[in-house]
Every structure is written in C-alpha cells, then in structure tokens.
Structure 1
C-alpha cells in the first residue's frame, strides 16, 4: 500500500498509452469531429440551442467554419491555449468545448472496444500503480483508507475513474456496482480544467452524451476567474504531499503557474519524480530555468523513459 501522502499530477501523456490523444493530437481530433458534425445531425453543433439552451448566434455555421479553419492551422501547444487566445471570437469557447467533448468521448468509446488488448499493454502504468496500492490490502473497504494517494489531472476524460472501477470490481468483487461506484467517487481526483462530467460507467464512452458533457469543461481563463474549487483542492493536496510524481505532464508554463508548482517543488522535503518522455535534455533545462526550479529538486526520468518505467526506476513510492 502507499502509506505516505502521494500526489500524482497527470497530463495528456499519461493517458496516451491507452489510446487517448496528446495535446497536439486532440486539436486534430476536434477538427475531425467538427467536420463530422457538419454532415451528421447527431453531432451537429447547430442543435445546441434546442438541446442545451445555447444562444443560436453562438453556433452559426460561419462561426463553426471559422473555428475549424483557425484551429487546423494554429500553432498553439494545446486547444486550451488556442481557446484562451481567442476569447474575443464569437462562439469559439462553446464550439471548442463541444468539439473536445465529442473527441474525448470518442476516445473513451474506443478504449471500451479495445480494453481486452489493453490488458496486455506493455506501457500500463496504472496496473503497476494499482498493484502497489493492493499490497497488504485484503478488503475493498480498506483500500482507500490505507492508501494515501490523490490525483491532479489536466485531462478531461474519466479514464482514471473507469480503470479504478474495473480494477476494484474484479479484484475484490463487491456485492453491487453502486457500492463500488460510491467507493470510486471518494478517490481524490481533481480535474483542473473540468471533465466530461461525474464518472458513471453507463455514460463512459457514450458519444450521445456530448451535448451535456461539454458544459463541465473549463478553459484556463475560466478556472482563474472563477477561483476554481478544483484548483483550491489541488493546491491543498500539494501542500500536504510527502511525495509528488509528474506523469505525462507537458510542463507548460501556464499549468505550472496555475498550481504554483515551482514554489511547491522548492518547499517539499523530498525530490519530485518527473517523467519527461519525449522531452529532450535542453527542453527540460529550459523548463527548470524559466520556472526557477532547481533541477536537483527533481528526480527526472530519461527522455525515452515512459510513465511505467519512470515509476519502476524512480523513487515514486515509499516501498
């Protein structure tokens, strides 16, 4: 079990091994989904005034087409950065969120279809973590009492909740799914930019849920302006952390600042485990320098070391 307060900070890369898009890939996926919506009435954003009470002027065809054209040619690091840079454009926030909801729900649906093959995934860091959490735990009721772990995620999907649901279900075979669902909902999982809504196994991967799911997504300027409860909770977790691990994190400056991560890393009494799969030595040097993070405070994985191998080869756990 994990007996020291351990906080995992997850970026898009943490869910990439399970078929979910990276930040860059999500931009392309959103463009594809919005293009489908022009042809498919069930995915059409023009139905939002009737379905969700969105102002009809927001989802005019000219706005949707302009959004598609702009996003497909934008050089932004993520769609959230793109939306944040286009607050002045009519409808871009709603169109972007609806496109994200469709794209991510589509990824959830594909995960359900391929989950049998995912059991043998050689990059499955969650399975490795779950086994660590099960060590010494004999009953499901003791699982989250004994494991002092929480998650701060920049991902909109509910993959983490879904994997906990299935892993607990088949590991401990509780009497009913509702008991299990209640247990999963007690896991401290803080979605920094919102999510597709509260996890429910019946809505996970259901594309027809998109017209409600997009309402739970937030952009960075909304999170800041509204003094997001998720951010407050996430910062509290970090203040109390005894161990911190970054997985699939892109080290974007706005996300580091949002969590006040530079100060936290400086003040924490242990080194922070930092996965940096695909990030070069020079890029990592720039991250630490521009954010005033002392590199010796980080236990940095190798460039080719994915999330699973970062957990296996670094001191992410107390056992």
Structure 2
C-alpha cells in the first residue's frame, strides 16, 4: 500500500501500454473515420456509425448537414499535419460545428479502442482474463496498491493515492474493479464500491461513466458502441483544451491533490504547455519528490520540462526535485517501486 500521499498524473503514453492510441495514432484513426466517401456535400464518411450520428445531428437540414460534412472533410484532411486532435480542435475553438464533429469522432474512436483491448470482456462474461492482458503499468500499480493490504481492511486502500488522467478512456477504473474482485475474492458490487473511493479526475472528460460510477454523466459500458442517436450525448462529455475543466470544485481538488502530495508520478505524460498550465497551482505547493517518464524525449527537452514542472508548483519546488527517466510507465513503476511507496530515507520528501 502507499505509505504517503501519492499523486499519479497519467497521459496517453500510459494507456498505450494497453494498445490505446496515442496522439498521432488517434489522429490517423479519426482522419480515416471522417474521410468523405464521395464528392456530394452530404457524402457518407469512412465510419458508417458516425455518418448516422451526424445525420441525426443535422436534423434533416441540408444546410446544417453540409456544414457538418464540410467540418468532417477539414478534420480528415488536417489530421496528418497535427500533433493531436486536441491541438487541432483548440485551433478551431470558434467553429462550433467542427468541435462537435471532432468530439463525435473522438468518442467513437476511444470506445472502439477500449473494445479492442484485452480488458474488454463483452457480454458473455464479466471477468477479464488477466493471463491475456499484457504486463502494463496498471498491473504493477495494482501490485503496489495491494502489497501488505488485507481483505478485512480495504476501506483505506486508496487513502494515500489519487490520479489525474488526461485520457478519455476508462481503462484505469475498469482494470481496478477487475483486479480487486479477483485478488481479494470480492463481489462485483464490493469491488465497485471500493473503486469509487479512489479520487480520479479526468480534466478533459471521459467517454461516459461506467454504470457503477458515482457521476451524473451518461452511462456507457466499457468498449460499448452506443446507438447513433446517443453518441452526441457521449461526445458532449469530452472537453477540448479551450474548454478544459470549468468546474471550480474539480479545479480546487486538482490544486489540493498537487499541494498535499509528497510525491507526484507522471506516467506517459507529454508535458504539453496547455496541460502544464492546467496543472499550475495558484499558490506555492509544498516541497515534494517528482518522478516521471520521459520516453523518447531528448535531454534538452527534458531539461526544459523539469523547469516547467517546477514553475507549475511555485518557488518551493525546484527543477532538481524532478527526476525524469527515459523509460515507459510500467518500467518506471518496477524500477522505482520502493522509492514511490516509501520515499527516500532521510530525504524529508
């Protein structure tokens, strides 16, 4: 179990260990789904389900429908040129139709990606076959979480750990329920009740809540393809860089978690400017240990990132407090298992 306040900040690189698409790959998927299949202003798109959803949104208006399909064409053509769909939508924040179209494509793509992971069990069985799931950070995180825990005292399991995930998927929540149910021989309801105790924030929203989650959001089963008429409601729960979190309580929680954490662990995070801006606390965070992945990031870029992390937390946190390691998320947890759980002896952090 985690012995001190630990905050995990999770990016797309972490979910990619379950074969969820990262920025560029997701952009390519969206480009294919939104690619017009003809020259008409209301041509079908590469994804028939998205075509139906957009036609329903157009509400039999040829003019409105033409605007949606023009937006789809623009997004599709631009995807090879963008860092991510999120960056592209931010550039077109003044185009409501384009934003709606992009969110529809994101929702459809993320739910489809959930469905292709080894975590998806369909409707034939409730239980994930963990033998078939690759060795990912989710598994290592759960091993760390459960080390020393006893079945008779699980209500405090998440007392010292919280997560801010910048991903739209629900892989973390879904994995945790499965893990707890199997490892501690719990009923599904008990495992779900326990997982609801974990503080996990999606600053950019998610593709619906899982049916057991405490949330007013639209409910969508893991990996489910909702009916075309329901897809707009699911997509509306996704936020762009421009929209981000507009809930003052949620932002206060983010700032509180950052300030209270004794260690912050960045997993598969890109440290993009707008994400770092969102994580910037209004005051000065208490000194803390910082650990993060920097897989594929050059040394000069990593040096700038260390300063950006320190700047986001105020003068009490220095760049030298941040250790960035050129490895993937699962490897980081394996290699720094003890320092994360227990801290560095005598460090004061």
Q: In angstroms, what is the RMSD of aligned CA positions?
A: 2.8
Q: Give the structure 1 partner of residue 134 of structure 2.
A: 121
After superposition, residues 277-292 of structure 1 pair within 5 angstroms as 277-289=295-307
Normalised by the length of structure 2, the TM-score is 0.78
State the 1:145 CA deviation.
Answer: 4.3
Counterpart CA distance in 1 for 2:88 and 2:152 is 43
Aligned residue for 2:186, secondary structure, equals coil
Larger helix fraction of residues = 1
Alpha carbons 1:80, 1:220 under 8 Å: kept:
yes
Match of 2:275 in 1: 255
Which residue, 185, 189, 195 being the options, matches 1:178?
Answer: 189
Residues 1:97 and 1:142: Cα distance change in structure 2 (over 3 Å): same
- Taking the TM superposition and a 5 Å limit, the aligned residue runs for 1:129-168 are 129-139=141-151, 142-145=154-157, 147-168=159-180
Q: For this pair of structures, how many residues does the alignment match?
A: 307
Aligned-residue offset at 1:63: 2.2
Return 5+ residue gaps in structure 1 as ranges: none
Q: Point out the structure with max Rg over C-alpha.
A: 2
Match of 1:316 among 336, 340, 348: 340
Secondary structure in structure 1 of the residue aligned to 2:210: coil
Whole-Å Cα distance in 1 between the matches of residues 24 and 210 of structure 2? 25
Q: How does 1:1-319 map to 2 (within 5 A)?
A: 1-35=1-35, 38-44=45-51, 45-49=53-57, 56=64, 60-70=68-78, 72-75=79-82, 77-111=83-117, 112=119, 116=129, 119=132, 121-122=134-135, 124-139=136-151, 142-145=154-157, 147-175=159-187, 177-200=188-211, 203-208=221-226, 210-223=231-244, 226-227=246-247, 229-260=249-280, 267-289=285-307, 293=311, 294-301=318-325, 303=326, 305-314=327-336, 315-318=339-342
| Per-residue CA distance 1:247-285 (angstroms, 9 max, x = gap) | 001011111111116976xx4433201111111112112
Long gaps (5+) in structure 2: 37-43, 122-127, 213-219, 312-317, 344-349
TM-score (norm. length: structure 1): 0.85
Shift of 1:110: 0.3
